[in-house]
Structure 1
Amino acid sequence: MKHRIILLFISLLSYSLQAQTVHYNAFSHNDYERTHPLFDALSFNFNCVEADLWLIDGELYVSHDTVAPNPDITFDKLYLLPLVERIKKNNGKVYPGSDRPFYLMVDCKTDGEAMYPVLKKKLEAYESLFCHEKEGKLQEAAILFYLSGRSPRKAIAAETNRFIFLDGTIDDLGKGIPAALMPVISDNYSKYINWKGDGEIPADKLEKMREYIRQTHAEGKLFRWWGAPDKPLFKKLFIQEGVDLIGADDLKALDEILQQTSRQ
């Protein structure tokens, strides 16, 4: 009986440690659809989250579609201030003991050039918490903050000592854009591959995917697909092929897949 109790304790301890493992390759997509977008992602130890932002009357609001101003869905309330508080409690990290930055991606739903000064002003008070580019090199901190969608490419490219970065696309590969400006490449899976999971993935499409990933890694960047079916088959394929950030609407399902993969 005592032996069984010890084995049970070891099993529970092992599960607990696995459950606390940070999923560095997990990307929480469509956060705006959840009541507690950031905290839902953090509860599953996802290391990358997305916030869709609208600039309305000088304030930034979180939503996929345009919304009326609402103090409950500001960027400050849903993302920025909770992350700042968490980092202070965790000795400078989003996750205690993490060995890399937490990725926060903003999808600019309105004109990024107009949004940029407002966003930058909000972040400046906490600038030390964000990764910086200095002399062409990335200096890590608690958060790597980067912009997608209608992003302000001109404004960010013109920055020196930047702490806000760009999300790129496959079309940006091979153009000499440094990782210290554009650390991530994200693109529409359906546009480039469009295999929907019937039978095995065609060899030519698989090779095309592998080439995009190779090119991205050769430039020192991370790769992410968006627009792929949110199904286990695709998550497992992307993990197997070395996609760096695996997007998910169903956070629990991806968490289970990643835990299973780590045990194999």
Structure 2
Amino acid sequence: MLKSAITALVAATSLAGIAVPATAAPADSPVLGQPLAQAHAHNDYEHDRPLFDALEHGFTSVEADVWLVDGELLVAHDRKDIQPGVTLESLYLDPLDELVRQQGHSVYPQWDGSLQLLIDIKSDAESTYAAIEQELGEHPAIMSRYSNGTTKTGPVTAVVSGNRPLATMQAMDKRFAFYDGRSGGLASGMPAGLMPLVSDNWTRLFTWQGVGPMPEAERARLQAYVVEAHAAGYRVRFWATPDQAGSARDAVWTELHQAGVDHINTDDLAALQQFLSAQASTSEAATSSASAADGQAFTFGVIGDIPYGAAEIAKFPSRIQDINADEALKFVSHVGDIKNGSTVCSDEYFAMIRSQFDTFEHPLVFTPGDNEWVDCHRTNNGAYNPLERLDTLRAMFFNEPGKTLGENMPVKTQESLGLPENVRFTQNRVAFSVVNIQGSNNSLQPWTGLGETAPTAEQLAEVERRTDAALAQIRETFADAERRNDRAVVLMTQADMFDPSQLAAATDNPEAVSGFREIVAAIIEETNGFDRPVYLINGDSHVFAEDHPLAEGSPWLAIYGQPAGDDLQRITVDGSANATNYVRFAVSGNSAGGADVLSWEKVPFSG
């Protein structure tokens, strides 16, 4: 196999008019670089050493144009350039098969990722695709595959682009190749098991070419595009981005990187390697400076559903002082509901709570609860439009996106999507993600206080937008945690998606929790793929609990129609009349043994 690979490499370099350097490393012994998640080698076959040049620069995605000629899949950009022996098998599949065999389980040493092989079909769609499937099937040990609704990821994932036969691929129960979609398919609902990638021409969607600052409207559109794709489980790639060395290309690459575009296109392997490596170094340095004691154990506190009613409002300042006295806390989280469900959602009340929050001496991470906006349609709450109350909360409590309340702690936000309350951050290799997921079936219950008997159009639009953002943040949290080799993921929400008091009603009618279905599915998928501890901390149901609601045998699995997520540990904090304590979580140091990264205890308030 490798002999044919060398022959093909020599032929390919002659195609490009480039002689193989006398000092080049043998084709069967690439010196592999550090894998770079966003690096895509466009027209990879035109490099001096197809595939191996990309791997030596750490690229995790390569692209090959193919033509079916006399039963062979020949690699070339144009039909006139095809040469005998320069085949998909000899240039890519045989060398990858051998490389994975040598490494043991992956393309790069001790790498859990899958190399994307983007195959751009230039000839007839149906016949070429059939030949691709046959050829991929001759390398089953390395290829990802789809079988009867299940995707099994292998060391190499083939995605077909160009002339691709969608109907044929949709009809197949089993296949080795996946479909490269276009921007028009973002809202198609096509499963990621068929279409894991969405690619499009940069110039068709954006006018900015890297000269001057990116227009804010285009930046927001780019970020929203990525969030929408990620919420559906799709990766994102653009072609025709600027690729001439200079400040314009660097500016576009920076925006793509910061927006979370999954594959950055280039023909300049060394330049993109240098760019992405520098970005990783900058990120690591920022993380290090943000937490000087990043290797040490630390604690944080969580409260929720407080203060409820006049008596607790009067005690709230002293509750805060009790928490302030716990000087070792790294930060505090309030997981929503700053009032009970039967009092007015007034600006004055919000301002009073904000002034109390400002007395926290620790960084305070706050996510709104349903009592302060979702349920404000109720007559005894003031019969407000809940969306107006949500806008007010954002203006009053999240007026400095990227900063916590209390003492400042930098956090990443979804402010560009209009959700500044959704934040994430990392401490001591533990990834924290706080997302706006609401009780009251994630805000799908009708606004009866306004005379509605079913969800309104504007209500449904807000739920969809917020859910998509939550899904994107959850997936990005796990992806970043995997990339950094974090020890655990901690999710925080207001909603109790597994409220014991609602179990009977949800069993009788699973639609009672339909607003959580996509979120639970994403949490299970990401938890099962992460293979390290995952913790979910919530309020909402007012009674302290520590359980595994997604473990095998849980009744919630049938309600949500999902497989088990055994590694998810859930903790519900006390609230309402039970809010006589805060929960102190301890995060173990990096050197600590055992699988339990987090431990916790209830700490009583003083009065």
TM-score under structure 1 length normalisation: 0.89
Residues 56, 69 of structure 1: 8 Å contact kept: no
Name the counterpart of 1:258: 276
State the distance in 1 between where 2:39 and 2:211 align.
Answer: 25
Name the counterpart of 1:232: 250
Residues 93, 139 of structure 2: 8 Å contact kept: no
1:29 equivalent to 2:47? Answer: no
Flag the structure with more relative contact order, 1 or 2, with Cα contacts below 8 A and sequence separation at least 6.
Answer: 1
> Structure 1 residue 135: deviation in Å?
4.0
State the distance in 2 between where 1:115 and 1:152 align.
Answer: 10
Q: Which amino acid aligns with 2:237?
A: R
> Structure 1 residue 137: deviation in Å?
3.2
Name the counterpart of 1:11: none
> Structure 1 residue 39: deviation in Å?
0.8
Q: Unaligned regions of 5+ residues in structure 2, if any?
A: 1-31, 244-248, 283-607
State the distance in 2 between where 1:177 and 1:128 align.
Answer: 27
Residues 38, 60 of structure 2: 8 Å contact kept: yes
> Structure 1 residue 183: deviation in Å?
0.3
1:208 equivalent to 2:226? Answer: no
SS of 1:186's equivalent in the other structure is strand
Q: Which amino acid aligns with 2:160?
A: L
SS of 2:79's equivalent in the other structure is coil
Cα displacement string for residues 180-224 of structure 1 (whole angstroms, at most 9, x for unaligned residues): 000011100000002112211111111111121111001011111
- Partner of residue 123 from structure 2, selected from 110, 114, 122: 110
SS of 1:99's equivalent in the other structure is coil
Q: Which amino acid aligns with 1:227?
A: A
Matched ranges for 1:17-96 at <5 A: 20-67=33-80, 69-96=82-109
Query: After alignment, is 157-166 or 175-184 more displaced?
Result: 157-166
State the distance in 2 between where 1:175 and 1:20 align.
Answer: 37
Name the counterpart of 1:97: 110
> Structure 1 residue 161: deviation in Å?
2.6
Q: Which amino acid aligns with 1:161?
A: K
Residues 33, 55 of structure 2: 8 Å contact kept: no
SS of 1:73's equivalent in the other structure is coil
> Structure 1 residue 61: deviation in Å?
0.9
State the distance in 2 between where 1:129 and 1:197 align.
Answer: 38
State the distance in 2 between where 1:67 and 1:119 align.
Answer: 21
Cα displacement string for residues 148-192 of structure 1 (whole angstroms, at most 9, x for unaligned residues): 011121221111132210001100111110000000111000000
SS of 1:198's equivalent in the other structure is coil
Q: What RMSD in Å do the two structures reach over aligned CA positions?
A: 1.4
Q: Which amino acid aligns with 1:90?
A: Q
- Partner of residue 183 from structure 2, selected from 140, 153, 170: 170
SS of 1:67's equivalent in the other structure is helix
> Structure 1 residue 262: deviation in Å?
0.9
Residues 232, 253 of structure 1: 8 Å contact kept: no
Q: Which amino acid aligns with 2:133?
A: K
Residues 31, 49 of structure 1: 8 Å contact kept: yes
Query: After alignment, is 114-123 or 251-260 more displaced?
Result: 114-123
Name the counterpart of 1:132: 145
> Structure 1 residue 138: deviation in Å?
2.1
Cα displacement string for residues 27-85 of structure 1 (whole angstroms, at most 9, x for unaligned residues): 00021322311111011010100001111121111111113652331111111111111
State the distance in 1 between where 2:86 and 2:46 align.
Answer: 12
State the distance in 1 between where 2:182 and 2:120 align.
Answer: 13
1:58 to 1:44, Cα distance in 2 relative to 1, 3 A: same
How many matched pairs?
246
State the distance in 2 between where 1:249 and 1:27 align.
Answer: 9
SS of 2:51's equivalent in the other structure is helix
SS of 1:166's equivalent in the other structure is strand
Q: Which amino acid aligns with 1:169?
A: R
SS of 1:76's equivalent in the other structure is helix
> Structure 1 residue 236: deviation in Å?
1.5
Matched ranges for 1:146-157 at <5 A: 146-157=159-170
> Structure 1 residue 241: deviation in Å?
1.0
Name the counterpart of 2:376: none
Residues 145, 176 of structure 2: 8 Å contact kept: yes
Name the counterpart of 2:198: 185
SS of 1:129's equivalent in the other structure is coil
Residues 131, 163 of structure 1: 8 Å contact kept: yes
State the distance in 1 between where 2:280 and 2:189 align.
Answer: 35
1:206 to 1:156, Cα distance in 2 relative to 1, 3 A: same
State the distance in 2 between where 1:34 and 1:210 align.
Answer: 32
State the distance in 2 between where 1:75 and 1:160 align.
Answer: 24
TM-score under structure 2 length normalisation: 0.40
Q: Which amino acid aligns with 1:186?
A: S
Residues 53, 75 of structure 1: 8 Å contact kept: yes
- Partner of residue 235 from structure 2, selected from 201, 209, 222: 222
Residues 87, 94 of structure 1: 8 Å contact kept: yes
SS of 2:110's equivalent in the other structure is coil
SS of 1:71's equivalent in the other structure is coil
Q: Which has the larger radius of gyration?
A: 2
SS of 1:40's equivalent in the other structure is helix
Q: Deviation above 6 Å: which 4+ runs of structure 1?
A: none
SS of 1:127's equivalent in the other structure is coil
Residues 34, 57 of structure 2: 8 Å contact kept: no
